[in-house]
């Protein structure tokens, strides 16, 4: 039996270009892994099957969370891909302990896929290196290579081409989690609709964001946070503007949506400030739940 812990990701900037011929949008993003963790436990099974069960932590509703417990689960897809790549025929029972909000723009499904790759790789003794796994991960989803890698990294291509970033400091985040998730696909479709008559420039990572990370300057990082999907996500969920406002009224150093939303994220000065922001969000009842996390942290790791 092997158990792997995998972090959530946030995008400190998310530059989105016009869709490519293959339908994917070119991205210029900076990922950070934060210490909200899912766990994936892989146990050997005798019959060569691949199975998955999902367990939720806390009181988030199982119904609204709707994570498939069949072949559509990204963890199963990852295990299957690893078998195809290595020719291994062993099976595995995967048990996912879910903490990362579902459909929250924090790449929870991709995180479980990354964890399943690392866990099954160990369980089956395939001998693939972490670099091999990162390469394989590009076939599952754009965020999966980063979730194996962890830390802070620039993501190019459709997000899967990652390169590490020189960064200092540890950052305190507060998340406002919505009761109902947003489909990433729907947000990108809305982005295309809103930009149909506009010239969408090639996305770039802002220099001031990289400078803030090099300096370990949280205040400058807060000013440099950006997300090109904001307009589209707010168009689908106008009430998210009010959520961002609550954090800004508490002097958050920065407030943006995480990925395609609807999770909103706030940069705090320190732990105490993070608690203030979380308290204000909870008492204003603008979200279903709050979470605090610190980043950067390592990617998917065996426990």
Nearer to ligand ATP by C-beta: 102 or 250? 102
By CB under 6 A, is residue 259 in contact with ligand ATP?
Answer: yes
Structural tokens at position 161: 């081409």
Distance (Å, rounded) from C-alpha 13 to C-alpha 32? 10
Nearer to ligand ATP by C-beta: 27 or 102? 102
In the complex, minimum distance from the CB of residue 275 to ligand ATP, in angstroms, rounded to a whole number: 25
Structural tokens at position 72: 């559509």
Structural tokens at position 299: 């990617």
Q: How many CA atoms lie less than 13 Å away from 227 in the CB half-sphere?
A: 27
How buried is 105 (Cβ within 10 angstroms: 0-12 exposed, 13-18 middle, 19+ buried)?
buried
Distance (Å, rounded) from C-alpha 140 to C-alpha 107? 12
Distance (Å, rounded) from C-alpha 2 to C-alpha 42? 5
Nearer to ligand ATP by C-beta: 103 or 176? 103
Q: Which of 15, 109, 150, 151 binds ligand ATP (CB under 6 A)?
A: 109
Binding marks (x or -) toward ligand ATP, 135..164, rule CB under 6 A?
A: --------x---------------------
Binding marks (x or -) toward ligand ATP, 61..80, rule CB under 6 A?
A: -----xxx---xxxx-----
Structural tokens at position 283: 């008492």
By CB under 6 A, is residue 106 in contact with ligand ATP?
Answer: yes
Q: Which of 107, 229, 291, 293 binds ligand ATP (CB under 6 A)?
A: 107
How buried is 65 (Cβ within 10 angstroms: 0-12 exposed, 13-18 middle, 19+ buried)?
middle
Nearer to ligand ATP by C-beta: 258 or 273? 258
By CB under 6 A, is residue 112 in contact with ligand ATP?
Answer: yes
Please report where in the chains the tokens 């896929």 appear, as a residue: 113
Q: How many residues bind ligand ATP (CB under 6 A)?
A: 22
By CB under 6 A, is residue 176 in contact with ligand ATP?
Answer: no
Hey, which bits of the chain come out as E strands?
A: 2-16, 27-45, 50-56, 91-98, 152-156, 161-164, 171-177, 226-227, 254-257, 264-268, 289-295, 301-302
Nearer to ligand ATP by C-beta: 184 or 290? 184
Q: 245 catalytic, yes or no?
A: no
Q: 143 catalytic, yes or no?
A: yes
In the complex, minimum distance from the CB of residue 220 to ligand ATP, in angstroms, rounded to a whole number: 25
In the complex, minimum distance from the CB of residue 141 to ligand ATP, in angstroms, rounded to a whole number: 7
Residues designated as active site: 9, 143
**Chain residues that interact with ligand ATP, rule: CB under 6 A:** 66-68, 72-75, 96, 102-110, 112, 143, 184, 259-260
């Amino acid at each position: 039996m092997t158990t792997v812990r995998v972090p959530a990701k946030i995008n400190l900037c998310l530059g989105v270009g016009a869709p490519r011929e293959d339908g994917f949008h070119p991205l210029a993003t900076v990922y950070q892994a934060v210490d909200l963790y899912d766990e994936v436990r892989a146990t050997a099974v005798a019959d060569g099957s691949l199975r998955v069960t999902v367990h939720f932590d806390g009181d988030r509703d199982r119904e609204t969370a709707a994570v498939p417990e069949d072949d559509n689960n990204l963890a199963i897809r990852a295990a299957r891909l690893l078998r195809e790549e290595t020719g291994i025929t062993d099976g595995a029972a995967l048990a996912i302990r879910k903490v990362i909000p579902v459909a929250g723009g924090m790449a929870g499904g991709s995180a479980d896929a990354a964890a399943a790759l690392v866990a099954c790789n160990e369980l089956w003794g395939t001998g693939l290196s972490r670099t091999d796994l990162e390469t394989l991960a590009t076939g599952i989803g754009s965020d999966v290579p980063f979730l194996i890698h962890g830390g802070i990294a620039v993501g190019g291509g459709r997000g899967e081409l990652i390169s590490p970033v020189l960064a200092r400091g540890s950052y305190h985040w507060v998340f406002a989690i919505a009761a109902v998730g947003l489909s990433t696909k729907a947000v990108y479709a809305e982005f295309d609709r809103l930009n149909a008559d506009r010239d969408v420039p090639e996305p770039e990572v802002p220099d001031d964001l990289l400078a803030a990370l090099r300096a370990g300057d949280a205040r400058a990082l807060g000013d440099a946070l950006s997300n090109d999907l904001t307009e589209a996500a707010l168009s689908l969920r106008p009430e998210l503007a009010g959520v961002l406002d609550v954090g800004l009224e508490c002097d958050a150093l920065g407030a943006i949506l995480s990925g395609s939303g609807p999770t909103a994220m706030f940069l705090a000065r320190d732990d105490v400030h993070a608690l203030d922001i979380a308290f204000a969000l909870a008492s204003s009842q603008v979200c279903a739940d709050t979470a605090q996390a610190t980043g950067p942290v390592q990617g998917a790791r065996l426990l």
